[in-house]
Amino acid sequence: MTNPVFLVGAFGVALVLTLMGFMAPAAVLGDIIGAWSLSNAQAGWLGGALFVGYIATVPILTAYTDRIDPKWIYLTCAAIGAVGNFGFGLVADGLWSGVIFRVLTGIGLAGTFMPGLKALSDQLPPGKVQQRGSTYYSSFFALGSGGSILIAGVTAQYLDWHWAFVFAGIGGLCALLTVAIILPSKEPDPAAKDAGAALDFRPVLRDRAVMSYIVSSLGTAWEVFSARVWLVTFFLHLQARMAIGETGWSPSVWATLVALIGVPAAMVVGELCVRYDRRKIVMAIALISTAFAAGIGLTTDGAYELTLVFCMIFGMSSYGRSATINAGTIAAADPARRGSALAVLAFIGFSGGILGPLAFGVALDYTGGSGDPLAWKIAMGVMALGGVITFLSLLAAPRSKINGG
């Protein structure tokens, strides 16, 4: 039951199941706005509620995985996340009840994604097996977040939008049962209790090697979530100029493919980083990501097919480096403070996921709006800053420790 391949596969499936409700509102937002008579601003509150719950609790929940068996944190929060999804689909009837249940869903994600990574890494042998397992597990995030849009959209099309969240709740319960069965309990490392207060993050913040990965994660999330939020609208802008029948798949399908192509890319990048110099590989991929993010904007007036190719390469280089950054953080961190390191990673990294789309939207608004090709060029340039942040962070890192154990 503790075979590494089995554990990583089971945890990856559980991660996808817990993410079924993650981006579901994006797929059915029009239906929710109509059903609850929401303004665009109120819809924005609803869309951001999950991130409020996540950001507010992830440092505490992940840090305490050094002191408490992470299995119980995971199971408790998986249940909370399931309640959030079931409540949104079956109980919520307006803005604030919807916000409350989405906050609960965010708390559920905060207690399963990074604590799940900590629980998995604790069960894997240190070294290459642990690094591979951490990379493969993290790569499933792109699959789960992208799949949540498709599943919710198809469910709403054939049933009703409420069922998208009911199925997400069922997925959360399946993840809970999976982890409850396959994850052995583990007593916390006694050294962790002697390492200072659980929420004292100063040793992590002083560790330059760990912080280089954490700041590079901010840059990666800046790009990844900018694409997640804005690519559908970008493809709509491109397809609006084309004749009917020439556009191919819908914008949501293309945006999902950009995310999903990052899953195999992340596994390949992770394997390269296990075999060779992680720092150099991630820096090179960050530069590729920067170039193609900017290139997407520059091809806005060109051939649609070329823009799609650039988007796919950007998806591979942005989503593809996220998982190996998580693995690098684990490898570089003091084992007694691994939970604290992942807590800081989750908080600062996810902050990039909030700031990136916001900066993208501001750039779009202030340079001509979503109908102006020049505005999209500038906004894509803003998105490309994420790769620059990753590159500079790793460039300044101490080389003696940056490639991890």
Task: Encode pLDDT of 124-172 as tens digits.
Answer: 777 777 777 777 887 888 788 878 888 888 888 888 889 999 999 999 9
Residue 405 predicted with pLDDT over 90: no
Domain 204-395 in the same topology as domain 4-188: yes
Question: Does the pLDDT of residue 394 top 70, yes or no?
Answer: yes
Q: Using one digit for the tens of pLDDT, what is the confidence trace for 42-69?
A: 776 777 788 889 888 988 888 787 778 8
Q: Residue 328's closest CA among 252, 402, 260?
A: 402
Give the C-alpha separation, 355 to 181, whole Å: 38
**Per-domain residue ranges for the chain?**
4-188, 204-395
Question: Has residue 76 got a pLDDT over 90?
Answer: yes
Q: What is the mean pLDDT of the chain?
A: 83
In which band, very low, low, confident or very high, does the pLDDT at 195 lie, cut at 50, 70 and 90? very low
User: DSSP per residue over 20-31, as a string?
Assistant: TTTSHHHHHHHH
Locate all alpha helices (DSSP H) within 37-186, ordered by sequence: 40-63, 70-90, 95-110, 113-123, 128-158, 161-182
pLDDT tens digits for 352-369? 877 888 888 888 878 887
- pTM for this predicted structure: 0.77
With cut-offs at 50, 70 and 90, classify the pLDDT of residue 271.
Answer: confident
Confidence of residue 196 (pLDDT cuts 50, 70, 90): low
Distances (CA, A) of 342 to 107, 224, 245: 16, 19, 47
Structure tokens at 203: 């040793």
pLDDT tens readout for residues 79-98: 999 999 999 999 998 889 99
Count of CB atoms situated within 10 Å of the CB of 54: 26
Please tell me which residue, 323 or 308, carries the higher pLDDT value.
Answer: 308
Please give the CATH number for the structural domain made up of 204-395.
1.20.1250.20
CA–CA separation, 87 and 202 (whole Å)? 38
**Residue 8 pLDDT greater than 90, yes or no:** no
C-alpha angle with apex 189: 183 to 190, nearest 5 degrees? 145
Q: 275: which residues sit within 8 A by CB, 6+ positions away?
A: none
- Specify the CATH number for 4-188; select among 3.40.50.300, 3.90.1640.30, 1.20.1250.20, 1.20.1630.10: 1.20.1250.20
